[in-house]
Amino acid sequence: MSMMKEIVRQHAQQYPPEKVAALSEWVIEQAIRIQQIPGPTFEEAARARYVKDQFTALGLQDVQIDDLENVYGRLPGAQTDVPGVMVMAHTDTVFPAATQLDVQRQNGVIHGPGLGDNSVGVAGVLGVVHALQAEGTQPACDLWIVATSREEGLGNLDGARLAYETLRSKIGAVVNVEGLAYGYVYRAGIAVRRLHITARAQGGHSWLHYGRPSAVHAIVQLGAAITQIQTPDSPRTTYNIGIIEGGHSINSIATDASLWLDLRSEETANLNKLEDQVRAAIQLHTTPDLEFNVDVVGERPAGNIDTNHPLVQGALAALEVTGTRGTLQVGSTDGNIPLAHGCPTVTVGVTRGGNAHRLDEFIESAPVKYGMRQMIVLTLAAADYQVSLTGQGEP
């Protein structure tokens, strides 16, 4: 049995299923309380204040909120001079502040916008602290508990960037939590670049000035050309035109139009190649009477750790003790930031569910007890591993 598997097994005995089962309802209730507080990207302040109060109530030390509404707290470890473990989950949601946040329970399924992504993730992080404090368990090294902002959309992972820069000298590993990722272990972050492409033309009257270039026509034609770009299956590379906008009336030749383009790849080199193809298409559509402008509005770096890394193996072992065979995955999460800096990071989940980013988003309540047991034993095992690296203690 590998070292990390043995560490996980030992902690799993300390937190058997019946002990964690009672925690799951507490986590679900916390998730609903968080979900009921509007938290669009860039507007996370109210959620941050609520989480800060929970950190304080749970007895965390060094509790604070930074300029981007990240919330920090520290659970002291037995070895405070050892690089700690950061456990984080993002607070923001894709839904506007005015969205109706009604919650409905039925047959073990709970519906609510933003409940799975990522209110239950934040609640799960709180649940780990709650469980450790209730049991009187001291981790081997400091646990830095962080609720990050600006993970979604144009937030560009800026909350995680600042949180990592703030704590990088104090941590050696990261456990990131996404609410609906139970059963998966993300050990790699894909490269993402987002472009806002604007077309500008002279415009005019649809009848009197027919034949002049139209910014709307140009952006539609460019979009059609982009959709003809072929991308490789391996390394997986994708693109998506998420928004097209422009013009000001049906009988006007448009002076301005734009599209928002999301580019992704498992490899940065392929992402750069894809962007080059997009920019080549723009050049082909540019004329003296029609100009384009490209703004990079999002940049998420890539990074990964080996599948045999002890943190990955520990995450898989933590799932195994709950009766679930874990699946390795890659994606775009807050975990991209520490991974890009070479900091060992995995992203795990609390429960199963679906319809993320939709009004009918839902979580399943039954798997929460398994997700919480997984998170508790993985967090403790990661702390033990950090101490073992320094030679200050044997796991």
Dist. CA 359–CA 380, nearest whole Å: 35
Calculate what percentage of the chain has a pLDDT beyond 90.
Answer: 96
Q: How confident is the model at residue 392 (pLDDT cuts 50, 70, 90)?
A: low
Give tens-digit pLDDT for 169-202: 999 999 999 999 999 999 999 999 999 999 999 9
Contact 217, 289 (CB under 8 A): no
Instruction: List the structure tokens of 318.
Output: 């933590």
Signed CA dihedral, 310, 312, 313, 319: sign only: positive
Give tens-digit pLDDT for 207-263: 999 999 999 999 999 999 999 999 999 999 999 999 999 999 999 999 999 999 999
Task: Return the half-sphere exposure (C-beta side, CA atoms, 13 A cut-off) of residue 35.
Answer: 30
pLDDT of residue 45: 98
pLDDT of residue 394: 45
DSSP string for residues in 198-265: EEEE--EETTTTTTS--HHHHHHHHHHHHTT----TTTTEEEEEEEEEE-S-TTEE-SEEEEEEEEEE
Beta-carbon contacts of 283 under 8 Å, excluding residues fewer than 6 positions away, are: none
Q: Token pair 């302040």 is at which residue?
A: 45
Contact 333, 191 (CB under 8 A): no
Beta-carbon contacts of 247 under 8 Å, excluding residues fewer than 6 positions away, are: 215, 216, 254, 256, 257
DSSP string for residues in 25-61: HHHHHHHHHHHTS--BTT--HHHHHHHHHHHHHTT-E
Calculate what percentage of the chain has a pLDDT beyond 70.
Answer: 98
Q: What is the pTM of this model?
A: 0.93
Mean predicted confidence (pLDDT) in 49-67: 98
Q: How confident is the model at residue 363 (pLDDT cuts 50, 70, 90)?
A: very high
Whether the per-residue pLDDT at 391 is higher than 80: the answer is no
Give tens-digit pLDDT for 81-123: 999 999 999 999 999 999 999 999 999 999 999 999 999 999 9
Q: In the predicted model, what is the mean pLDDT of the chain?
A: 96
Whether the per-residue pLDDT at 1 is higher than 80: the answer is no
Instruction: List the structure tokens of 319.
Output: 């799932």
Whether the per-residue pLDDT at 395 is higher than 50: the answer is no
pLDDT of residue 374: 98
pLDDT of residue 301: 96
Task: Return the half-sphere exposure (C-beta side, CA atoms, 13 A cut-off) of residue 265.
Answer: 17
